Structure 1
Amino acid sequence: MIRALQAILLIPLLYLAAGALGGAIPLNRGWQEPEDGITIYVATNGVHTGLVVPTHAGGVDWSGIARPEHIRDPRYAGRWLWFGWGERDFYVNTPTWAALSPRTALHALIGSDRTLMHVDHLVEPWGDARPVRLTPDQYRRLSADILASFDSADRRPIPGYDVADVFYPARGHYDAVRTCNWWTGRRLAAAGVRIGAWTPFSATVMQWF
């Protein structure tokens, strides 16, 4: 029984160690930020990371997807949009770490096909938001990858936490390997940005910027 308990306690430590190692191995090692281009932000609220992009830039117009009338108060629709992906119950019920329950955490770790896109309308990027410049081609690739995470068959808005954010049904399977922070890292990797090979935690994303 003691050995079984030790093994159970060892699992989260191994997970943390694997995440730290995976986040330290770079993809797109030779990437260099261009001197000119389109500025996006890689952002975190301490729990979830996301990508903050202009509502209109580089020939990409998000206003048809993230419509102002989808948020509780359309007056808060801004020049920037924060996109994040995650497991439905975890996203809806865990706006902060203080709200995390053991049941929600266990459900997310086991895995779920019920995922959401979370979109915040911002006047300006806020919090821990770090600027990154992309070439127009990189930005278009990033935008196409973000759009591909939406459920193309169901675009119905779901009320968010406050007056300026909203959820949408998403595609993809969420589990302990494919977390919200993994999603952020994979979008950046697909655009050609240098990022960790596996980024399950907020810190494993943000350390690159």
Structure 2
Amino acid sequence: MSWKRWIATALLLGVVSRFVPFGASDGYDRDSGTPVWVFDHGYHAGLILPRSALEEYGSHHADVWMTQFPDADWFEFGWGDRGFYFEVPTFEDVTFAIGAKALLWPSETVVHVATGTGSPWTRFIHSQGVEIPVTDAALSELLAFVEASVVSTGRLGPGLYGVSAFYEGRGQYHLFQTCNSWVSQALRAAGIKSAPAPAVLSSGLMWDLMRRY
């Protein structure tokens, strides 16, 4: 494995430590739940919520996002290191200095909001994903977690792909608090079981979710 791929993997995902035992998830509703999605884009994972969740359970931040993205059917949320997100739009842009800085020193964060219409499966055809039907209570908790991760809905600039934008994030990024840790924490906050770690490999996160749901 090249140093570049090692740094990107360690930087964004950390090391798998253990997995939550199987059992019922309070927020999971296989028969009649509303679907949410997690997609792995190779060096960051995103959590997708339908527009209906923002309409039904959102507060101020959600209202602003719906105004800023009036045509969106769904919203993908990702959280991570500000410098890495801004400086590394693709894997080929990873440098040792960028990776080491975000990995070794706690840093400022951003929330990336990407939007789309139609099915997320069509938009992210080249990304691995999992669909999880959840209860209304879980939808509310997921959105509350996302909104609490944002300091301000003033856009910092355009996002990485599609109709998207960056926003000032809350909290610091480091080896034990990565983008995939954030996704896992959001799910667990809503009673949806997920690999807990503070540090979770992308492949570990997706494997765990796919075998559960």
Specify the TM-score bucket, using the shorter chain as the normaliser. Answer: 0.7 to 0.9
Q: Which residue of 1 aligns with 2:133?
A: 133
1:56 aligns with 2:52: yes
The one-letter amino acid of 2:45's match is T
Q: Which residue of 2 aligns with 1:156?
A: 154
Contact 2:115–2:162 under 8 Å retained in 1:
no
Q: Which runs of 5+ in 2 are unaligned?
A: 1-6
Residue 164 of structure 1 deviates from its aligned partner by 0.6
Structure 1 outlier segments of 4+, above 4 Å: none
Scaled by the length of structure 1, the TM-score of the pair is: 0.79
Give SS of 1:196's match. Answer: coil
Name the CA distance, whole Å, in 2 between partners of 1:63 and 1:149. Answer: 12
Name the CA distance, whole Å, in 2 between partners of 1:37 and 1:156. Answer: 32
Give SS of 1:195's match. Answer: coil
Q: Which residue of 2 aligns with 1:6?
A: none
Residue 201 of structure 1 deviates from its aligned partner by 2.1
RMSD: 2.5
Deviation by residue 1:2-45 (Cα, 9 ceiling, x = unmatched) = xxxxxxxxxx8xx79x82333xx116743273111211001111
Q: Which runs of 5+ in 1 are unaligned?
A: 1-11
Q: Which residue of 1 aligns with 2:177?
A: 178
Query: Per the alignment, do residues 37 and 88 of structure 1 end up closer, same or farther by CA in structure 2, a change over 3 Å counting?
Result: same
Deviation by residue 1:26-79 (Cα, 9 ceiling, x = unmatched) = 16743273111211001111111011001123712475232454xxxx68x420
After TM superposition, the structure 1 stretch with the greater mean CA deviation from structure 2, 140-149 or 93-102, is 93-102
Name the CA distance, whole Å, in 2 between partners of 1:89 and 1:27. Answer: 35
Identity across the alignment (%): 25
Give SS of 2:89's match. Answer: coil
Scaled by the length of structure 2, the TM-score of the pair is: 0.78
1:98 aligns with 2:92: yes
The one-letter amino acid of 2:106's match is S
Give SS of 2:65's match. Answer: coil
Q: Which residue of 2 aligns with 1:168?
A: 167
Name the CA distance, whole Å, in 2 between partners of 1:26 and 1:101. Answer: 34
Give SS of 1:81's match. Answer: strand
Give SS of 1:43's match. Answer: strand
Candidates 74, 78, 83, aligned match of 1:84:
78
Q: Which residue of 2 aligns with 1:121?
A: 115
Name the CA distance, whole Å, in 1 between partners of 2:180 and 2:161. Answer: 22
Contact 2:46–2:77 under 8 Å retained in 1:
yes
Name the CA distance, whole Å, in 2 between partners of 1:59 and 1:80. Answer: 13
Aligned length: 187
Structure number with bigger Rg: 1
1:46 aligns with 2:42: yes
Query: Per the alignment, do residues 162 and 131 of structure 1 end up closer, same or farther by CA in structure 2, a change over 3 Å counting?
Result: closer
Name the CA distance, whole Å, in 2 between partners of 1:40 and 1:155. Answer: 22
Contact 1:19–1:204 under 8 Å retained in 2:
no
Query: Per the alignment, do residues 113 and 67 of structure 1 end up closer, same or farther by CA in structure 2, a change over 3 Å counting?
Result: farther
